[in-house]
């Protein structure tokens, strides 16, 4: 029996030796899912602070325009969204001390620590921003900076941050840019502010390829607000220093009945809708 079993055993051993060994699926960075407290904060902060560059050009060292561009993007995220979790002292008008910013332990997608930047580089990032997202203020010898709009942090208040619009005559156009894929939802639910403090409208159209604050260049639907009716019904409207029109709507929503008209863009074909 042993002699007869030997070829079978040999065949079995050959089969086992030629079969791929089973692999165990191990989690990537296993500690990342179990961290709490400060570690969670650092993980969240890093996700905001190291955005992927738009288009090409990211990651080419840390010099010149890449360095300043990366700084500007990080400043936008901190000043709009991260002040609370970073324990950054922010006033109700959105201003923080520049010297406090430069103490933060963060780095940009260009791999430059924020601490290594200078006050002059922050001023240059503000100067270069073509949408004028930032405001600088010198007060009692202290340089302050803020994001002009787009906040999710609840420290800021509309009245402190923005100028109220009291008459429809103050704005020539008030238009929200969006995409065709969102239109059905908007017509059912109205315009929602989502995670931000306000619904954003532009005070101009994206014509001639010019940069316009409050609207992406790639939008293909324009929703115009009936400013007169909105103000008449008690909706509070504001305008930022970079000419973005903002409103909290009613309970965070601008209802469809306040839409004046809807058009395609750039064709400007009217889209019928029911108020």
Domains and CATH numbers, the chain: 42-147 (1.10.10.970), 162-264 (3.20.170.30)
Q: Which of 65, 81, 77 is nearest to 124 (CA)?
A: 65
Residue 109 is predicted with a pLDDT of: 85
Banded model confidence at residue 2, pLDDT cuts 50, 70, 90: very low
Asked whether residue 31 carries a pLDDT value surpassing 50, the answer given is: no
pLDDT at position 107: 95
Q: Is there a contact between 120 and 52 (Cβ–Cβ < 8 Å)?
A: no
Kindly tell me if the per-residue pLDDT of 46 is higher than 70: no
Task: Give the pLDDT of residue 212.
Answer: 75
Angle at 223 (CA atoms; ends 218, 225), nearest 5 degrees:
135
Specify whether the CB–CB gap between 273 and 262 falls below 8 A.
Answer: yes
Q: How confident is the model at residue 134 (pLDDT cuts 50, 70, 90)?
A: very high
pLDDT, greater one: 24 or 260: 260
Query: Taking the model in full, what pTM does it have?
Result: 0.71
Q: Is the pLDDT of residue 32 over 50?
A: no
More confident residue, 130 or 38: 130
Greater confidence, 245 or 58? 245
Q: At residue 176, does pLDDT exceed 80?
A: yes
Q: What is the pLDDT of residue 161?
A: 96
Q: What is the mean pLDDT of residues 189-213?
A: 86
């Amino acid at each position: 029996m042993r002699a007869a079993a030997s070829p079978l055993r040999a065949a079995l051993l050959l089969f086992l030796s030629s079969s791929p060994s089973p692999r165990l699926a191990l989690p990537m960075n296993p500690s990342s899912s179990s961290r709490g407290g400060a570690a969670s904060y650092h993980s969240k902060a890093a996700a905001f602070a190291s955005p992927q560059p738009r288009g090409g050009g990211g990651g080419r060292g840390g010099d010149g325009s890449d360095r300043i561009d990366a700084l500007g993007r990080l400043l936008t995220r901190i000043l709009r969204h991260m002040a609370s979790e970073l324990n950054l002292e922010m006033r109700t008008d959105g201003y923080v001390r520049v010297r406090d910013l430069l103490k933060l332990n963060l780095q940009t997608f260009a791999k430059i620590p924020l601490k290594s930047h200078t006050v002059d580089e922050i001023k240059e990032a503000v100067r270069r921003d073509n949408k004028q997202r930032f405001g600088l203020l010198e007060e009692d010898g202290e340089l302050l900076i803020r994001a002009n709009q787009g906040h999710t942090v609840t420290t800021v208040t509309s009245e402190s941050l923005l100028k109220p619009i009291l008459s429809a005559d103050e704005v020539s156009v008030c238009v929200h840019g969006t995409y065709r894929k969102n239109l059905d939802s908007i017509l059912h639910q109205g315009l929602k502010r989502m995670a931000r403090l306000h619904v954003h409208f532009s005070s101009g159209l994206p014509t001639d390829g010019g940069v316009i604050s409050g609207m992406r260049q790639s939008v293909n639907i324009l929703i115009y607000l009936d400013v007169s009716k909105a103000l008449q019904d008690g909706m509070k409207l504001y305008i930022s220093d970079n000419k973005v029109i903002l409103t909290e709507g009613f309970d965070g929503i601008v209802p469809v009945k306040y839409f004046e008209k809807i058009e395609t863009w750039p064709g400007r074909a009217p889209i019928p809708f029911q108020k």
